[in-house]
Amino acid sequence: MAYLSGLKEDKMTKEAFDSSVHEREKLNTFDNALKQFDIAAKILNISENQIAMIKEPRRITEVKLPVRMDDGSIKIFTAYRVQHSVARGPAKGGIRFHPDVTVDEVKALAFWMTYKCAVVGIPMSGGKGGVVVDPSKLSKSELERLSRRYFAELLDLFGENKDVPAPDVNTNPQIMGWMMDTYSMHHQQYLPGVITGKPLEIGGSAGRASATAQGMVFCVREAAKHLKIDLKSSTVAIQGYGNAGSFAAKLLHEDGCKIVAISDIDGAFYDENGILPEEAIKHVAKNKTLKGFEKVSKAKRMDDPMELLELDVDILVPAALENQITKENAKRVKAKLIAECANGPLTPKADETVTRNGIFIIPDILCNAGGVTVSYLEWVQNRMGYYWAEERVLEDLERIITNSFKTVLETSLEYKVNMRVAAFIVAISRVTKAAEIRGLYA
């Protein structure tokens, strides 16, 4: 199985894992997302008409992007933008650059964004975009031309009241800045509200960089209270050491947790005495990945990076890509608590196994909603033209995430279902109500 936390595959791991099962599940990412919806919709007993209004994407756009390369040649890139819903507000969701992007993946991610926004109660809906590209193979100027071309080709979709993108896998504030500038130049206005996750200098929000991980930590704190887990004596394993994973390690360490394992595309590293997150962050800043981390720390390189998911730890944080825990390895997961910092890290079959084994899951649409929550706060600040200090942003984020966790937990106990089903019950109820109030324009 490919260890999917970056741009390339770990060949040794692929041979060591039953990849045929994983690939089969990976191809059905959107079907997996719909299965989660169906379970909650059945419990809510909503009608077929209600389901028809909120289940499938409203718009799927595929474009071919011609981009001139530095050598003068023209290369064509396939790109997507999916708007799942606009029932509760403009579509909201990131743009990812990755060689494995598929339309089904983007549909699933847009679907999750609709219900992620709903579960935390922010007035936005779901969208997602992607370009099939390995950005590590592009120069900075080629990356800028690709980014601007994407936004220019899809210009009619975007707008602060229509569809508001953000960074995702392999995109960053600089890319958001290029896209915002492209949109502003076409409209001959300064329009920062069209996109979030921008640099602070052009309308970004304080607290945005750590928001996904910070929201996850607020959820973990509440879950630990519920499960009576002492964070100061807890062990943590984190799969993925990009923005979300590295901030997750830093913030959980500050809460007293011991980070015993971390990983990225270039390997997994374990130290039973604890890894210092800042040490790993500095190494990645210098070397781009964790490769060689065992040479500058006391951590040992694990033979199979996927074994990180099976370590006997209190808290497991999947912070890479989708479908990392499947029906094949789910039975070997030993953590007491799984905090889904990534989107869709468990397949439905894995979810069943892990839940049956008594492991508490904080589902992705709640656990990693910190990013979209602060993106919403950035959008609000852009529209006001007034910007808040980081303390104000974090106060709002903590209030929104903590209250949302409590609502989902109460729903879980009321309906006697796991947290994922409970989160969808809360979210589907809100989206259904909005769709019914708006009615059907004919």
Cα separation, 426 vs 408, in Å, equals: 7
β-strand partners of 129: 81, 95
Across 131-160, b (16+ Cβ under 10 Å) vs e yields bbbebeebeeebbbbbbbbbbebbeebbbb
CA 372 from centroid of its chain's CA atoms: 9
From 161, 157, 121, 215, select the one nearest 431 (Cα to Cα). Answer: 121
| 128 labelled catalytic | yes
Counted residue by residue, the chain has a size of 442
Catalytic residue among 128, 198, 258, 336: 128
Cα separation, 304 vs 12, in Å, equals: 8
Instruction: Check if the beta carbon of residue 136 is closer than 8 Å to that of residue 51.
Output: no
From 127, 93, 164, 123, select the one nearest 438 (Cα to Cα). Answer: 123
Active-site residue numbers? 128
